[in-house]
Structure 1
Amino acid sequence: MIVRQKPNAFKILFTLRGSVIPHIYPQVLLITLLSTLISAVQHLIPSYFSSYSVAPFTLLGIALSLFLGFRNNASYQRWWEARGIWGQLVYEARSLTRQVLSFIDEDTETGRHTQRRMINLTIAFTHALRHRLRNTSPWQDVDRFVEPKYHASMRQAGNLPEYLLRQLGRQLGYSRRQQLTSDLMIQNMDERLTSMTIVLAACERIHNTPLPFAYILLVHRTTYLYCFMLPFGLAASLGWATPLVCGVIAYTFFGLDALSEEITDPFGIAANHLPLTAISRTIEINLLEALGESDLPSEIRAKDGYFLQ
């Protein structure tokens, strides 16, 4: 995730990290070359192309801008909702840890062991959720927070985060049977688990529900058709300035299209995706510190304005 301040006027022209230029430069280059060819033909044979009115291109450009704006708003809304969901997870994890440490009896070995087990399972859930959303292997991050006797059944689980929530629920039931806390606090802690279940379901909804393909296809086709037709309408009036103008317009439209495509699923590892690794590490540090651990992992900080994903 890019967290740098706005670059100055010089750097803004050459910044590539977080830019969509690496993804769209073939299309922009193709439109620029096509515009150059058409401008050359128009210069050598002025009557080869008819003089077209720019009015159709203006109307189509306005319509395309509205389409791209709507799609970008929809994509950004998904990105921002995902960030809010992970912010809620930070809140729920800290709240559950506070309740576990404050209200589960720590005067007995059983109580202290239950506290540690529940907090470790909460950390494991955070890492498991991140890996599930990114379709990566979770075991290196999750195994160390789950007791070895559960490793075999954990690997058979179809939904690892949900499996860990069930283990947390069983720990609450165990605490109630052992009378380690009151029924009222059991209910309050169960509400935290319910909220974490909502976080899981909301992340899966965003991850598994892309924008409608027909709408994406319409925007793609319209963008390409507009940029390919534009040089024919501008060559007669702009002459050799046509490649520059068409290149800038192609960069704008293809860039908006590529950016909205990138942030539609905000859980990836691209520069503009959410820094889930940094958020997970923050939760891990906070919860281990609450347990009284001194050997804490290092905090992930932004380097050169860029967060490790």
Structure 2
Amino acid sequence: MINYNPKEWFTFIFRFHKADTFRKLFPMLIAIGAYSGLIAYLEVDVFKLSENSHIKNIPAMHGMLGFVISMLLVFRTNTAYDRWWEGRRNWGALTNASRNFAIKIQAIVPKELVVERALIEKLIVEYAFALKRHLRGHQNDSELFISEYKVKSEYHKPNYIAKLLVDQIQALYAKSIISGEQLLFINEEIRTFTDICGACERIKNTPIPFSYTVFLKKFIFFYVMTLPFGYVFTLGYIVIPVVVFVFYVLASLELIAEEIENPFGTDANDLPLAQMCKNIQKHIGEIFQEESVLR
């Protein structure tokens, strides 16, 4: 995700970054400009159409359709942002659940059980990294995966790690290290892990309906393609930059919505999952430190 200062207006206006829509649309902007120039040349210089032509009434159609397309784009961008924000909320919940789980384990499990505490600490941290890899389709990556437990690449690794956590907690309960009340107290956090994973999978695996996306792209295309026909009578060759700018605005909104509707990818404006995982790792490590910073 791009970090920025929202108060720096001029920096935004004159800065182009690698994810800027202008870079992505530049070839199409050139093509739209050439197309608009061709239409203006044919109408003004070749066929010499006058303002008495029925074509001059086309802008009335654009006035009516402009409101419709603006409503569609508002709905499209709002829907995409809702998905992005829900993804951010779920990862915030994962961070809190990881901290709460670590705090409970650190307080309940005796410090003498060094191996058990260390393993649970590793599993809590690994769950975040495994979920990141799972959502990005990088299941074969071995980042931080605990060497004691090997699992096939096609398995659902977040579920597997949640199972290992449950096994560890049940083993402590079977040895009477934790009580039944404490078991219920701890299991709530593991259930939260699985709920968060399911919510993230729902966002990733449920894209915007195909028919809606295709219709909106076609609507933008035909709207822009018909702009030069009517406006050339009032704008002349100035219609070229006007049509290019209109296309840039409409297509940019669609591209932005496409980029953020899956917030778990690696695009510039997607969620910084790697940084969130490292923060969880850092915070869990601090919680399990033997020496208290308040001592």
Give your verdict on TM over 0.5.
yes
Distance across 1 between alignment mates of 2:11 and 2:77: 27
Equivalent of 1:261 in 237, 247, 258 = 258
Unpaired segments ≥5 residues, structure 1: 295-309
Query: Out of 145, 162, 167, which is 2:164 matched to?
Result: 167
Contact in 1 for aligned 2:97/2:193 (Cα 8 Å): yes
Mapping for residues 190-229 of structure 1, pairs under 5 Å: 190-229=187-226
8 Å contact kept, 1:175–1:181: yes
Match of 1:82 among 83, 87, 92: 87
2-structure distance, mates of 1:62, 1:180: 66
Unaligned stretches of 5+ residues in structure 2: none
Could you say which residue in structure 2 is the equivalent of 1:71? 76
**What is the one-letter code of the residue matched to 1:127?**
F
Q: Residues 10 and 188 (structure 1 numbering): CA distance in 2 closer, same or farther, change over 3 Å? A: closer
Q: Quick check: 1:130–1:276 contact (8 Å CA) kept in 2?
A: yes
* Secondary structure at 1:171 match in 2: helix
Residues 15 and 83 (structure 1 numbering): CA distance in 2 closer, same or farther, change over 3 Å?
Answer: same
Equivalent residue number for residue 4 of structure 1: 4
Matches within 5 A, 1:1-309: 1-6=1-6, 7-9=8-10, 11-45=12-46, 46-47=48-49, 50-106=55-111, 108=112, 111-137=113-139, 139-143=141-145, 146-148=146-148, 150-151=149-150, 154-155=151-152, 158-292=155-289
1: CA distance, partners of 2:41 / 2:255: 30
- Letter matched to residue 276 of structure 1: L
TM-score by length of structure 2 reads: 0.91
Which sits farther off after the overlay, 97-106 or 53-62? 53-62
The offset of 1:28, in angstroms, is 2.2
Q: Is the 8 A contact 2:58 2:229 kept in 1?
A: no
Please tell me the residue identity of whatever aligns with 1:232.
Answer: F
Structure 2 CA distance, aligned partners of 1:293 and 1:22? 52
Deviations 1:143-174 (A, max 9, x none): 2xx242x21xx226620000000000001100
Number of matched pairs: 286
Deviations 1:17-63 (A, max 9, x none): 44222222222222122112222233324318742341101111211
Comparing 279-288 with 81-90, which one deviates more in the overlay? 279-288
The question of whether the paired residues in 1 share the 8 Å contact of 2:133 and 2:141 is answered with no
SS at match of 1:52: helix
| Conserved 8 A contact 1:157-1:163 | no
CA RMSD, 1 decimal: 1.9
Supply the distance in 2 between the matched residues of 1:80 and 1:138 (Cα, whole angstroms).
28
